[in-house]
Structure 1
Amino acid sequence: MDDVASPRAVPGDDALMRAWSAGDVAAFDVLYGRHRDKLYRFLVRQLRNRALADDIFQDVWQRVIAAHADWTPEAMFTTWLYRIAHNRLADHWRATRHRPSAPDDADLRTAQIEDPHTPEGLTAALDAQRGLQAALDALPAEQREVVLLRLEQELTLEEIAEITGTGRETVKSRLRYAMDKLRATMNP
């Protein structure tokens, strides 16, 4: 038998959660490092307010920490994490009785994108990015959430359905309507 050690496999989220629940604090550090940027970006895009996103981001991780000992691998860790974030966002909207309104410039259309290596191209690319953000901001919150979870977090329709507490077909419809609106906005 060969004595050469095989490279260590990177543990999956479920294995890290089990290790953390068993007392391995370093496992939490790996989980946090693996998911913090995407979760934060998701919250910022949902709330459009960095200070509020910071608060809810902290609260989501506090809830993860508080509930980690009771965690069972019924769903993927990312599904569980984003379900906590979804619930926290729902709590926020209920508490403020406020749905985010579209910004005043949400109806701006972007120009045809130029060569990105010229100053004009860089400006056009930035304008396109702003146009996309404005189009995302103009979507109803439920549609925006589905788009962000699908495209940025690369979650499946089933995972999104579990996170949002809706059916797969509802998620599919929200995604289709949102993508139609984004296409219409970006390609007038």
Structure 2
Amino acid sequence: MFKVKEGDLDKMGLLFERHHRALYGFFVQMLRQGEQSKDLVQTVFFKMLKSRHTFTGSGPFVTWMYHIARNVLRDHYRQVKRKGLHTELADDVQQDLEGGALADERIEKKQELQALAMAMDQLNGQDRELLILCRYQELKYSEIAHLLHITEGAVKVRVFRALNQLREHYLKVSTEKNCA
């Protein structure tokens, strides 16, 4: 990023190649919309380029990148709220199911993932974001602490509490699905 800051804009392509998949995963987990997530990834990289002068290197690049991503996500939520639009769940990719036990395993796995997604959706926005950053994006607690401007200990406590909430929601959702 220092090279980009100095004016070597070609290095932004390298940063894009390294980090666009992780950002896309973050947005998909938060929004459940594939196409919208692609647009937001582009927006993040545009804003990174536009605000490259603000990168100081005092923390990890990834922390700075997710700080911008969180701001882009907030802007998106404001825009959706202002327009009165509702986000839809991302379309599932349909695969031809093979017969027998493999088909049963795929169906069971899909049901578990749907239950997990429903449980994640029941978490408040801060807890969901925290778990996505920690578990899906695999950021270190220290990076999350820097990003959220809290201590590493506070991150650990919040993750622990969020996981407990997720577990409760998941058990409730999976029990309801089995009873239906």
TM-score, length basis structure 1? 0.72
- Structure 2 distance, partners of 1:162, 1:87, is 15
1:42 corresponds to which residue?
Answer: 26
TM-score w.r.t. structure 2 length?
0.75
Counterpart of 1:130 (choices 110, 114, 133) is: 114
What is the DSSP-based 3-state SS (H/G/I as helix, E as strand, rest coil) of the residue aligned with 1:74? coil
Whole-angstrom CA distance in 1 between matches of 2:72 and 2:148: 11
**Structure exhibiting the larger radius of gyration computed from Cα positions:** 1
**2:145–2:155 Cα contact (<8 Å) kept:** yes
2:47 matched residue in structure 1: 63
Aligned with residue 32 of structure 1, among 16, 22, 25: 16
Q: CA deviation at 1:52?
A: 3.4
Structure 1 unaligned blocks of 5 or more: 1-16, 104-115
Q: 1:164 to 1:70 in 2, by over 3 A?
A: closer
- Is structure 2 residue 144 aligned with structure 1 residue 160? yes
State the Cα deviation string for residues 145-174 of structure 1 (Å, max 9, x = none).
000000111112221122234443443333
In the alignment, which of 160, 164, 168 is matched to residue 176 of structure 1? Answer: 160
The answer as to whether partners of 1:136 and 1:144 remain within 8 angstroms in 2 is: yes
- Alpha-carbon distance in structure 2 between the residues aligned to 1:60 and 1:71: 14
Cross-structure match for 2:6? 22
> Of 68, 71, 88, which aligns to 1:87?
71
Aligned length: 159
| More contact order relative to length (CA 8 Å, sep ≥ 6) | 2
- The amino acid of 1:72's aligned partner reads T
Measure the CA separation in 1 of the matches of 2:103 and 2:35. Answer: 32
Deviations 1:34-87 (A, max 9, x none): 100110110121122334333322221111011224422111110000011112
The alignment-based identity, stated in percent, is 30
CA-atom RMSD in angstroms: 2.8
Instruction: Give the residue type in structure 2 aligned to 1:144.
Output: R
Q: For the Cα contact (< 8 Å) 1:79–1:162, is it kept in 2?
A: yes
Aligned residues of 1:83 and 1:162 also touching (Cα < 8 A): no
The structure with the greater share of residues assigned to helix is 2
1:27 Cα offset (Å): 2.1
Q: Which runs of 5+ in 2 are unaligned?
A: 90-99, 173-180
In structure 2, give the amino acid aligned to 1:129.
Answer: L
